[in-house]
Structure 1
Amino acid sequence: MGLTLTHIGGPTVLVELDGWRILTDPTFDPPGRTYGFALGTSSTKTAGPALTPVELGPVDAVLLSHDHHADNLDDSGRALLTDVSAVITTVPGARRINLPGTTGLRAGGTHILRASGKPDLTVTATPCRHGPPLSRAVVGSVIGFALSLDETEQVQLWITGDTVLHRAVRTFASSHRMDVVLMHLGRVRFSLTGPLRYSMDSRDGLELLELARPRRAVPVHFEGWSHFSELEKGARSRLTPDSTGDIVQWLEPGIPTPV
C-alpha cells in the first residue's frame, strides 16, 4: 500500500492511496473573510490554501465531513464539487448539495468507490459529534471516514472529522485495526458559548492514539481560523515523541508526504 498526504490547509488534505486521489473537506477561499456559524457565532479565515484547485489537479472523489460550516466547505470548495464524479458526505448534506454522484451516509454506512485500474476502496462513515452532549440539533450532522482497500479488515486511513472525543469515537478507535489516523484537532471555541468545545485538542488526540494504536498519526485542522483555541505550538508540546512513541507526523502545507 502506498499512502501520500498533502495538506492544503485546515481540514483539506489530498489523499493519494494506491492510485486513488481523494480530497477531504475542500476549502480554497483566500484569507480575511469572516463566516457565520450557528447561534450567531462566527470565525475569520486567517490563512489561505497552500495550493489552488488548478495546482491540485483532478481528484477522483471528495470526502466531505459536513457541508454547513465554511471551515470545511467554503465557496471555492463548493465550486470544485461540480467537477468531481463522487462526493460522500452526510445524509442532510447530500440533500443540500444535490449534485449527481453525491452519496449521503450515516455513521456505520459504507460506499465502495470503483474505477478501472484501481483497487476497490471501501469508505465507511464513522461517528462524530461536533460539540457537547445534545448539541447535534444546533451544530448539525457530521461524519468521519474510514478507508479500506479490497474489503480488508484493516483501516488504511481514518479521518476523524470534526468531533469531540465521546463514547462512539472511543469505541470505533479501540475496535478497529488502524494504519494511519488523520486527526482533526484545534479545540474549537467561541466567545459566545464560553468554555464549550466543538472539536478535539491534543489531550484528546493523545487518548485517541492510545485507543487506536495506529502506525502513524497526522494532526490537521488546527490552524487558519480564528475559532481554534489550541494552535500547532500547543499541540506539539503535548504530542511529543515521549508521549506518543514517535508516531505523530506533522505535514508541511503543500508538500506531498509519504506516511
Structure 2
Amino acid sequence: MTHLGGPTVLLELGGWRILTDPTFDPPGRKYKFGWGTSSIKTAGPALQPDEIGPVDVVLLSHDHHADNLDDRGRDLLTAAGTVLTTRPGARRLAASNVRGLGTGETTSLDAAGKEHLSIQATPCRHGPALSRPVTGPVIGFALTLGHASTVSVWMTGDTVLHRPIRRLARQLDVDIVLMHLGNVRFPITGPLRYSMNSRDAASLLALLGPRLAVPVHYDGWSHFSEPTNHVRTTLDRAAGVRHLVTWLEPGRPTQL
C-alpha cells in the first residue's frame, strides 16, 4: 500500500495494481464544488502518475468533486484497465473501461496471473441527512480475493458515520479498512459536516474490529476542518482501537 496524498492510494493486492480516487494536480488551485462551496488544494501528490507504473483498476468513489478526481487524475483514467465508480459517474465519464455500480452491487475481475477479485459498492452519505441531492451519490468499495469470506480491503469513501455504515461495520470481516476522514466543512453551511472526523473513525473501528486501519484523506485541502495533529492524537489515544491504526508515509510503499 502506497499513500500518494489525499484519498489517493496504490494497492498491490493479489497481483492487481489498484488506485483509489486519483488526485495528482499540484497545490495552490481553488476548486468549486457547487452550491457556493469550494476548497483550495494545499499539498501535491507524493508521486506523479508516470512514477507509479501501470494501473489495473481505479476505484473512484465519485467523479464530481476535485479532491477525489482532479484534472491530472482524470487524464489517468483512460490508461487504466477498469474504472469502477457510481452509475451517474459512469454516465458522465462515458468511456468503455468504466463500470457504474449502485450501492450493494458487486462486480468481478479476472486476469491471467492475478487472483479473482470481487468488488462490492458500499454505502456512503457525503453529508448530513437529506444532503444527497446536493452532494451527489458516492460509494465505497469492499474488495475480496478469491472466494474468501473476509474482505481484504474496505475503502469507506467520503461519508459521515450514519446508520448504513454502522450496520455494514457490524457485518463485515475486514483485514484492512481505508478510512476517509477530514471532518469536511464549508463556511456557507456552518457546522454541517460532510465526512468523518477522528472520533467517528474510532467509533467505526470499535464496531468493525479490522486487523488494521489506515486513515487517509484528512489533509491537503482547505475544507478539512480537523487539524492533522488532532486526527493523529485522537486515534493514537483511542482506547481499544489505537493498536489497529497504521499511518502511512506518503510515497513510501508499505507492506501490510
Q: Which residue of 2 is the match for residue 14 of structure 1?
A: 10
The SS at the match of 1:236 is helix
Large movers: runs of 4+ above 2 Å: none
Q: Which residue of 2 is the match for residue 60 of structure 1?
A: 56
Is structure 2 residue 216 aligned with structure 1 residue 220? yes
Aligned residues, how many?
255
Q: 1:157 aligns with which of 153, 157, 165?
A: 153
The SS at the match of 2:26 is coil
CA contact (8 A) 1:85 1:100 kept: no
The Cα offsets for residues 74-94 of structure 1, whole Å up to 9 and x where unpaired, read as 000000001112000000000
Q: Which residue of 1 is the match for residue 114 of structure 2?
A: 118
Question: Gaps (5+ residues) in structure 1?
Answer: none
Q: 1:76 aligns with which of 55, 72, 84?
A: 72
Q: Which residue of 1 is the match for residue 133 of structure 2?
A: 137
Question: Gaps (5+ residues) in structure 2?
Answer: none
Q: 1:41 aligns with which of 24, 27, 37?
A: 37
Residue identity matched to 2:251: G
Q: Which residue of 2 is the match for residue 254 of structure 1?
A: 251
Residue identity matched to 1:192: I
Residue identity matched to 2:70: D
Aligned-residue Cα RMSD (Å) equals 0.8
Is structure 2 residue 88 aligned with structure 1 residue 92? yes
CA contact (8 A) 1:67 1:93 kept: yes
Is structure 2 residue 23 aligned with structure 1 residue 27? yes
The SS at the match of 2:3 is strand
Distance in 2 between the 1:133 and 1:245 partners?
A: 29
Residue identity matched to 2:54: P
Q: Which residue of 1 is the match for residue 225 of structure 2?
A: 229
How far has the Cα of 1:241 moved from its partner? 5.3
Q: Which residue of 1 is the match for residue 183 of structure 2?
A: 187
Q: Which residue of 1 is the match for residue 200 of structure 2?
A: 204
The Cα offsets for residues 203-243 of structure 1, whole Å up to 9 and x where unpaired, read as 00000000100010000000100000113211111111552
TM-score, scaled to structure 1: 0.97
Distance in 2 between the 1:237 and 1:229 partners?
A: 15
- Identity of paired residues, percent? 63
TM-score, scaled to structure 2: 0.98
Q: 2:47 aligns with which of 38, 44, 51?
A: 51
The SS at the match of 2:35 is helix
Distance in 2 between the 1:88 and 1:24 partners?
A: 10
> Structure 2 vs 1, CA of residues 14 and 158 (structure 1 numbering), >3 Å: closer, same or farther?
same
